[in-house]
Homo-oligomer: A and B are copies of this chain.
Amino acid sequence: MSQTLSRALKILRFVASEPRRIGEIATFLGVHHSTALRLLHTLRDQGFVFELPDHRYRIGATVIRVGFQALEAIDLRSVARPFMVTLNEATQETIHLGTLEGDEVTYIDKVEAKHGVRMYSRIGAVAPLHSSGIAKSILAFLPGDERSRLLDGRDLTARTRHSITSIDALEEELAVARERGYAVDAEENEPGIHCIGAPIFNGTGHVEGSVSISAPMSRIKRDLLIGFAPALLDATTAVSKQLGWEP
């Protein structure tokens, strides 16, 4: 492992949320300011950070570009996009696309609701495996051994008072999801927000990602949300077929 590189990567994450000064970054890393300065200058010279006129540093254009480039290289995203837009128009709610990357489910696309209440989500962010509809719908359809490996020893944090916090209860919930063909997040991830998610399969029948419909309970009751399930399944089935899946 490279200590120098680790430090630089920590800088990138630190300046992502807001521009930072050299001294602040040096303190954050626990290094001398001249060390922080050299790392920042290297990052700046390759466009990974941008130095503002007041000597604060923010994320640079290269990170943004590299991130977009990588997103565009994800085939699932371009295949799913039109179906997500259709689903968004049919429901007027926020549609997410997620994919399993390593041990985490990551949001890789989103079509926003037409209404004012915004979902707490961000492209690139990790969706909690045990409490979000988008992640549960992937988890439910993974091969059993892979799912067990992911869940083994995992701490199921209670994100809300509705969250599932035991492996046994989660496995039961996932079995129900498999029967239904989609997973439900009943305020398990975020208070006042519920969600349904369904899996996308590829040509080998392996789960490749999932699409979800999220809505505030204040606007969409559970019955109405569940009423969107056929449309959701139509969309995910259509995407799956594009990926070579056969029912």
Pick the contact of A124: B67, B73, B123, B245 (CB < 8 A). Answer: B67
Interface residues of A in 87-120 (CB under 8 A from B): 101-102, 104, 106, 108
Chain B neighbourhood of A59, CB < 8 A: 66-67, 69-70, 73
* Chain B CB within 8 A of A151 CB: no
Within 8 A of B (CB), among A196-228: 203-204
Q: A1, B41: Cβ atoms under 8 Å?
A: yes
Give the secondary structure class of A's interface: helix
What are the interface flags for A19-53 relative to B under an 8 Å C-beta threshold, 1 for contact and 0 otherwise?
00000000000000000001101110110101001
How many residues on chain A are close to B (CB under 8 Å)? 60
Contact of A64 among B4, B39, B60, B67 (CB under 8 A): B67
A126 to B207, CA, bound (A): 28
Partner of A244, one of B2, B67, B125: B67
Whether A243 is near chain B, meaning CB under 8 Å from some CB there, is yes
Query: Is A165 in contact with chain B by the CB < 8 A criterion?
Result: no
The minimal Cβ–Cβ distance linking A74 to chain B, given in whole angstroms, is 7
Indicate if A65 sits at the interface (CB-CB under 8 A): yes
A172 at the interface (CB under 8 A from B): no
Can you list the 3 inter-chain pairs with the closest CB atoms, starting with the nearest?
A65-B124, A67-B67, A59-B70
New contact pairs (8) apart from A12-B66, A64-B123, A67-B68, CB-CB < 8 Å = A50-B242, A61-B242, A64-B106, A65-B245, A67-B67, A67-B203, A68-B123, A68-B203
